[in-house]
Structure 1
C-alpha cells in the first residue's frame, strides 16, 4: 500500500494494489474509488483532503 498527499492540489491518494485501473467511480462528492478489471478496489482518491480530515499529511500506520 502506498499513501501520497499532494499539498498543491490538496489530494490524498491511497494506492492499495499495483493492478491497472480500469474504472473509477465518485462514491461521494470528492471521493473517487478506482477498480481493476475484476472489480477489486485499487485505490482511493480524496479531493480537498485538508477540508475532510485533520492533518492529511500525517500518516500513522498500525499493524496488528
Structure 2
C-alpha cells in the first residue's frame, strides 16, 4: 500500500488531498493542530498526528513519531 504524509490536512487543499488519497486506497498520515481537525481526519480514515509547525518541539515530536516510516 502506498503511503502519503500530508502536513496541515484538516482543511482546505490538505483536507481535499487527504480525501482523494483515501478514496484511491492510499494510507494517509495526516497532521493537524486541533482536536477537531484530528477527529475529522480520523473519521475519514486517515492516521493522524498532532503537529504545530510553529512549535519546534512539535516538529521534533513528528520526526520521532515517523521514525522507521518509508
TM-score, normalised to structure 2, is 0.28
Question: Which of 1 and 2 has higher RCO (CA within 8 Å, sep 6+)?
Answer: 1
Task: Work out which of the two has the higher radius of gyration on C-alpha atoms and give 1 or 2.
Answer: 1
Higher strand share: 1
TM-score, normalised to structure 1, is 0.29
